[in-house]
Homo-oligomer: A and B are copies of this chain.
Amino acid sequence: MARKMYTFDELYTIFSEELQKQNFSKSPKELYEPIIYTISQSGKRLRPIFTLMSCDLFDCDIRKALSQAIAIELLHNFTLVHDDIMDEAPMRHGKQTVHVKWNQNLAILAGDTMYALAYRYALNAELDILPVLLQTFNNTALEACEGQQMDINFENKTGVSIDDYLLMIKYKTAVLFGASMRIGALIARAPEKDVHHLYQYGLNIGMAFQLKDDLLDLYGQTSSFGKRKGIDIIEGKRTYLYIMALEKADPETRSKLIDAYRKDHPNPEQKIAEVKRIFDQLNIEEITQQVIEEYLNKSLEHLDQVDRPVENKRVLEQLAKRLMFREK
C-alpha cells in the first residue's frame, strides 16, 4: 500500500518553521537586517518544497533535505536581491526591495552574504553525495548568472528570437527548479534514471512557470506578486508575448508594435491598450497558453517515467497543474 505523501501545504509549514528557527541575527547587524527582511517575506517557497517533495517521493526522511532546501531558498533570494538592483525594481512581493529600503551597496553585500550562507547550508550533507550536490548547486548558480546576463543583453538588442528567449529563461529560472528536484532525489539516493527524469520534470515546470508569469502580467485576473497589470509592457521588457508577437506580425503590424512598445511612450495606459490590441489580434494569449501546456505535458511525461507508484507521484502531478492553471 502506498504511503501517504506530504502535501504542499504541509511541506510549506515544515519548511517555514525550519527557516524561522535559523539564527540570522548576527553581527554586524546592518548586514543581517536586510537578509532577515528578505528571507522572512512569504514567497511561495516553491523551490525548497520541490526539494522536499522529491526526497519524500523515495520514502526518504524529508528532514535530511531541509538544510539543502534552505540553501536553495537562500540562493534564490540572493539572485532576487541582485537582480532587483540591476532591474531597478522598486518592489518585490508587495514590499520595498533591499536596495530601495536601504541602499545599493548594502543590497550588493547582503546578496553576497546570502550566497555564502547558502553554501554553508549546502555543505551540510552526507559525504558520499556532497560532491554531486555541490556541483549541482554551483552549476545552477553559474547558469543563473549567465541567464541574467542574457536577459540584460536583450534590453539593447533587436532581433531576439524565441529560441534566444527560451534559452535565457531556462538559465535564469528553469534550471533552479530542475536542480531543486535533483537535489531532493540525490539525498534520497534515487536511481540515476529517476534523478534525470525529476530534473527534467522540474526544468520543464520552470519553463512553463516563467512563461505563465509573462502571460499573467497582461492576462492575469488580478495583479500577480504585487505587480501592476501590464508592468512588463510599461517597462518595455522583452517577454515571450512580445517576441512571439514580433515573429507573428506582418511588417506593418510589427512596426506598429515596436512603436507602441518604445520606452519613451508618454501614456502608460494607452501603451498597454495599444500593445494588447496587437497581441489579441495575433492570438498571443492562446499561443502562449499552448506552449505552456506543452512544457507542462513534457514535465508530466518525465514524471511518468519515474519508477515510483502513481499514487505517490500524484502530489507532484497536481502541483504542476496548479502552477500552470493559476490565474495570478
A residues within 8 Å of B by Cβ?
Answer: 26-28, 30-31, 82, 85-86, 105-106, 108-109, 111-113, 115-117, 119-120, 123, 127, 130-131, 134-135, 138-139, 141-142, 145-146, 148-150, 152-153
Residues from chain B with a CB closer than 8 A to the CB of A86 are 105, 108-109
Residues from chain B with a CB closer than 8 A to the CB of A26 are 146
Q: Is the CB of A119 within 8 A of B131?
A: no
Q: Is the CB of A146 within 8 A of B108?
A: no
Residues from chain B with a CB closer than 8 A to the CB of A111 are 112
In whole angstroms, what is the CA distance A111 to B152 when docked?
16
Name A123's closest neighbour in chain B (CB-CB).
B134
Name A113's closest neighbour in chain B (CB-CB).
B145
Q: Is the CB of B28 within 8 A of A112?
A: no
Across the interface, A138 reaches (CB within 8 A) one of B27, B123, B139, namely B123
Residues from chain B with a CB closer than 8 A to the CB of A85 are 105, 108
Q: Separation in Å of the A143 CB from the closest CB of chain B?
A: 9
Name A28's closest neighbour in chain B (CB-CB).
B149
Residues from chain B with a CB closer than 8 A to the CB of A152 are 30, 105-106, 109
Q: Is the CB of A112 within 8 A of B109?
A: no
In whole angstroms, what is the CA distance A135 to B130 when docked?
12
Q: Is the CB of B153 within 8 A of A138?
A: no
Q: Is the CB of A112 within 8 A of B82?
A: yes
- 9 A-B pairs closest in CB distance: A31-B149, A116-B142, A86-B105, A113-B145, A116-B141, A28-B149, A119-B138, A112-B145, A123-B134
In whole angstroms, what is the CA distance A271 to B44 when docked?
55
Across the interface, A115 reaches (CB within 8 A) one of B27, B115, B135, B148, namely B115
Q: Is the CB of A28 within 8 A of B153?
A: yes
In whole angstroms, what is the CA distance A196 to B266 when docked?
65
Q: Which of A26, A85, A109, A111 has the most CB of B within 10 A?
A: A109
- Known contacts A131-B130, A138-B123: does B82 contact A27 (CB below 8 Å)? no
20 new A-B contacts, CB < 8 A, other than A112-B145, A116-B141, are A26-B146, A28-B153, A30-B149, A30-B153, A31-B145, A31-B149, A82-B108, A85-B108, A86-B105, A86-B108, A86-B109, A109-B149, A112-B141, A116-B142, A116-B145, A119-B134, A119-B138, A123-B135, A123-B138, A130-B131
Name A139's closest neighbour in chain B (CB-CB).
B120
Residues from chain B with a CB closer than 8 A to the CB of A109 are 82, 86, 145, 148-149, 152
Residues from chain B with a CB closer than 8 A to the CB of A112 are 82, 111-112, 115, 141, 145
Q: Is the CB of A146 within 8 A of B28?
A: yes
Name A26's closest neighbour in chain B (CB-CB).
B146
Residues from chain B with a CB closer than 8 A to the CB of A82 are 108-109, 112
- Known contacts A31-B146, A82-B108: does B131 contact A116 (CB below 8 Å)? no
Residues from chain B with a CB closer than 8 A to the CB of A115 are 112, 115
